[in-house]
Amino acid sequence: MDVAFVCWNRFLDICESITEHEPLGESDELIGCGIAQDFPIPDHCVVSEVSKEQAREWILATSMEGKISYANAYKILKEACLLDNKDRELDLQGICVASGTYYRQHSLIL
């Protein structure tokens, strides 16, 4: 649940960045996790407001439980990282910008 919390929170940050037409701030915690920090922000978000609200509600409810371990989430993400950001340039083709995982379709989506 820790990783899901971090990824959904990242997803909402990206949606907010798209909506407000503002650059996405970098997160030091995500360095080395294979999650893109610098990528082109789309002009519009294809995710419905209902879906974003459901994510917000889950984040809020989960946060209120107080059982999230950010340290554990970042540790798991780093261990599962498919990229070594130190040795090669990040290629965004086929990588989810919210979780850092590969998917079969080869385009940047959100």
Q: Give the whole-angstrom CA distance, residue 61 versus residue 70.
A: 16
Is 54 part of any domain?
yes
Question: Whole-model pTM?
Answer: 0.72
Is 19 part of any domain?
yes
Q: Give the whole-angstrom CA distance, residue 88 versus residue 73.
A: 24
* Locus of tokens 């950001």: 85
Is 88 part of any domain?
no
Is 97 part of any domain?
no
Residue 49's CB is within 10 A of a number of other CB atoms, namely 10
Is 103 part of any domain?
no
Number of folded domains that form the chain: 1
Query: What per-residue confidence (pLDDT) applies to 43?
Result: 85
Is 104 part of any domain?
no
Is 86 part of any domain?
no
Q: What is the domain range of residue 33?
A: 2-80
How is residue 80 written in tokens? 């599962």
Per-residue pLDDT of the chain (110 residues; tens, 9 = 90+): 888 888 898 889 889 988 888 888 777 777 777 677 777 888 888 889 999 999 999 999 999 998 888 888 877 777 776 544 444 444 555 566 666 665 555 444 45
Query: What per-residue confidence (pLDDT) applies to 61?
Result: 93
